[in-house]
Structure 1
Amino acid sequence: MFHLWDSEIPQAVKDTGIPVSIMLWSTDQYKIDRFLQFAQPGYASHAAGYNEVNQVGQGQTSPDRAVQVWYQCLRPLVEKGYTLMGPVTTSAPDGYDWMVQFFNQCGGDCHVDEVPIHWYDVRFEDFQVYINKWAGFGKPLRVTEFACQNFNGGNQPSMDQIWQFTGQAINYLESDNRILSYAPFGFMDDMYNVTPDDRLFAFQSYGLSDLGWNYVKGH
């Protein structure tokens, strides 16, 4: 599945025929207006909202506001044939607390079908613990971003550590039936604030990097 950070599907993505999840990136009004323009019956199979709601500079919003916009923009899509993925948080500890508040306020008719997860850290064992914690919501999971990356002030992992994590992660994600899909970060040239060693595409040769091939073969 393609997980977009936007509500418009690029033509190149449409041409693949792979199911797509569009996203209401934030609760800002201009994002809402754009989302409602594209979120029509048959345009995509899934819709998600919102991106990293507990993070400044991302789709930061309160659980109250998130629930309000959810019922305005996302909940009506169920009747239009969409499967709904809930808001996604960073893997910082306050993300889980945010999601607990969201579910408590959203009520029985919320219709969150699947829960997306973002995770960035360096220890595979911590990745397992995190997934088990989020499985406690009782919903199927989609790991829509993850990488062996240190955002906690320490050194970035070595290439050997990244390869070790990758092998363990693939085996685990492929075997856990609570996880519907997973998408490592990232198949892109600009890795933003993630170490380039996690890059899965080798733009110099216009093909997959060695690490990218490892994910493809593992899958």
Structure 2
Amino acid sequence: MASKLLNLVALSSLAIMAVTFGPASTNALSTGHVHMNRHIDHAPIAKRKRDSSKRCKVRSSTLSSATHSSTAKAETTAKALAETTSQAASTKAATTKAPAKTTSASSSSSTSGSGAAGTGKFGKKGSKICAAWGDGNDINSLKAFKTDHVVGLYDWGVDKPDGADALGYDYWPMLWGGSSDKISAFEKAMAKDKFGTIVLGFNEPNEEGQSNMDPETAASLWKQHIEPQVAKGYKTCSPAMSSRPNGKQWMADFMKACDGCTVDYQCVHWYDIGFDTLKTYLTDYHNQLGLPILLTEFADQNFNGGAQASSSEIFQFMGQALEFIDNTDWILAACPFGIMHDLQGVNTLNLLQGSNGSPTDLGYMVINNSY
């Protein structure tokens, strides 16, 4: 009897140890002296929230520019797209010329796209904010975050929110990674007429916790699934590199492997502390290929184990960033991370959305471009 009791105690202890010391969920990957990057597949966030979000009434005191009628916004968008079609050829020559080493990858870029790129709303002062969207079909939030300054929207996938077109958002579908389910969803969505305007490439393929693929595999998938979209009038943005130093070499290898591919813009992500660091980072990336930059994720966030920025520092950073983005002609648009309630390990002082679904004070600053 005593022997059985001892065995039961031993088994219980082992069970407790297994629970205590099992693998912990991880939001970041240490890269030593540089950034740590999230192990988060963002695409399911929006999908999980589709049709299930409940929000309080949107604060309206400072959102006068967000209350335009859906019809007016749709007409404005259609007009901008029509104007851009006739302007795209000349703009392409002026804004997307790459150095000799990458000409083969970018010289075939379409000049008759659906109108997103570098012209019309995009690339113009005051109209360069895009929404990194995690709220699915939450129509109240869609309305609350749409102003004349917020022109683009993407959701790390192809789950375009209902009402996005009517509100005047320019939707950017993404082929997140190379798995069969991602590819299948992407192809199904892209078969729809006028589904979006800019196709975004793979999400942080230089990261093990993200789409995680070598440049040659990415180039092959690009040729199979993204390049065919150019003939439909889409512009294209490169795979989005994380802040890890290996990103630049990965991108150089991708452009070499994707010889003959159409790459109109360069997508990048940035997480660090301070505006000067961001400015240097973006300038360096632009100089690498000479392509317009689409900054699809950024936040004043320390992933190196040091102190995080204070609220006042974040507001100062955002003001400087908005002004730089606004006045830099080679930046197409920028999407602060992110319009969602859970920033997945990012300093919550960077939140753009409050618990009731409406913009935070920082969010109001961003969507109203009030630097």
Q: Which interval holds the TM-score relative to the shorter structure?
A: over 0.9
Report the Cα offset of residue 139 of structure 1: 1.1
Alignment of 1:188 with 2:340, yes or no, is: yes
Asked if the contact 1:42–1:81 (Cα under 8 Å) also holds between the matched residues in 2, the reply is no
Equivalence map 1:141-180=2 (5 Å): 141-180=293-332
In structure 2, which of residues 231, 234, 237 is the aligned counterpart of residue 85 of structure 1?
A: 237
In structure 2, which of residues 152, 166, 169 is the aligned counterpart of residue 15 of structure 1?
A: 166
- What secondary structure, in the 3-state scheme, does the structure 2 residue paired with 1:5 have? coil
In structure 2, which of residues 178, 181, 187 is the aligned counterpart of residue 30 of structure 1?
A: 181
Give, in whole Å, the separation in 2 of the partners of 1:84 and 1:170. 24
CA RMSD across the alignment: 1.3
In structure 2, which of residues 363, 366, 369 is the aligned counterpart of residue 212 of structure 1?
A: 363
Give, in whole Å, the separation in 2 of the partners of 1:217 and 1:43. 27
- What secondary structure, in the 3-state scheme, does the structure 1 residue paired with 2:261 have? coil
Q: Return the index of the structure with the highest Cα Rg.
A: 2
Report the Cα offset of residue 115 of structure 1: 0.9
Q: Which moved more, 1:140-149 or 1:154-163?
A: 154-163
Aligned to 2:291: 139
Alignment of 1:94 with 2:255, yes or no, is: no
- Name structure 1 gaps, 5 residues minimum: none
Alignment of 1:48 with 2:200, yes or no, is: yes
Deviations 1:93-117 (A, max 9, x none): 111111111011111x210011111
Asked if the contact 1:118–1:146 (Cα under 8 Å) also holds between the matched residues in 2, the reply is yes
Asked if the contact 1:78–1:84 (Cα under 8 Å) also holds between the matched residues in 2, the reply is yes
Aligned to 2:352: 200
- Name structure 2 gaps, 5 residues minimum: 1-151
Deviations 1:17-64 (A, max 9, x none): 321110000011221111111112421111111001111221111101
Q: Which moved more, 1:4-13 or 1:142-151?
A: 4-13
Larger proportion of strand: 1
Report the Cα offset of residue 156 of structure 1: 1.3
Q: Which moved more, 1:184-193 or 1:69-78?
A: 184-193
Give, in whole Å, the separation in 2 of the partners of 1:37 and 1:183. 26
- What secondary structure, in the 3-state scheme, does the structure 1 residue paired with 2:271 have? strand
TM normalised by structure 2 equals: 0.57
Aligned to 2:62: none
Give, in whole Å, the separation in 1 of the partners of 2:271 and 2:298. 5
Equivalence map 1:53-92=2 (5 Å): 53-92=205-244
Give, in whole Å, the separation in 2 of the partners of 1:217 and 1:88. 26
In structure 2, which of residues 254, 257, 269 is the aligned counterpart of residue 105 of structure 1?
A: 257
Give, in whole Å, the separation in 2 of the partners of 1:96 and 1:194. 23
Structure 1 runs (4+) greater than 4 angstroms displaced: none
TM normalised by structure 1 equals: 0.94
Give, in whole Å, the separation in 2 of the partners of 1:2 and 1:49. 15
Q: Which moved more, 1:17-26 or 1:35-44?
A: 35-44
Aligned to 1:6: 157
- What secondary structure, in the 3-state scheme, does the structure 2 residue paired with 1:181 have? strand
Give, in whole Å, the separation in 1 of the partners of 2:215 and 2:281. 21
Q: Which has the higher contact order (CA 8 A, sep 6+)?
A: 2
- What secondary structure, in the 3-state scheme, does the structure 2 residue paired with 1:128 have? helix
Report the Cα offset of residue 202 of structure 1: 1.4
Report the Cα offset of residue 8 of structure 1: 2.8
**How many residue pairs get matched?**
217
Asked if the contact 1:2–1:18 (Cα under 8 Å) also holds between the matched residues in 2, the reply is yes
